[in-house]
Amino acid sequence: MQENQCPKCQSELRWQKEGYHCDFCQIDFKKVAYCPDCSKEMEKLNACGAASYFCHDCNELKSKSRAKTEFSEIAIS
């Protein structure tokens, strides 16, 4: 199973400096994580090579494995 699939065409997304890019759809995406408890958007924290998330609503650290992630289209202006 591919971890970073385009939500439109299901092809593999390619990482670039500002987020993810689908070569087939020519669309840029960002990966957004939501709290498994309150469903609010969380902030990603990277420390010592490990990623976890902080929910400002719950005021708690949340495990990466519990986070609900999705790709949202980046608006180009």
56 in any annotated domain:
yes
The total number of structural domains in the chain stands at: 1
- What CATH number is associated with residue 66? 2.10.290.10
pTM summary value: 0.78
Instruction: List % helix, strand, coil for the chain (3-state, nearest 5).
Output: 0, 50, 50
29 in any annotated domain:
yes
55 in any annotated domain:
yes
pLDDT digits (tens, 9 = 90+) for 17-59: 889 999 999 999 999 999 999 999 999 998 887 888 999 999 9
Residue with tokens 């070569």: 23
Domain span at residue 48?
Answer: 11-71
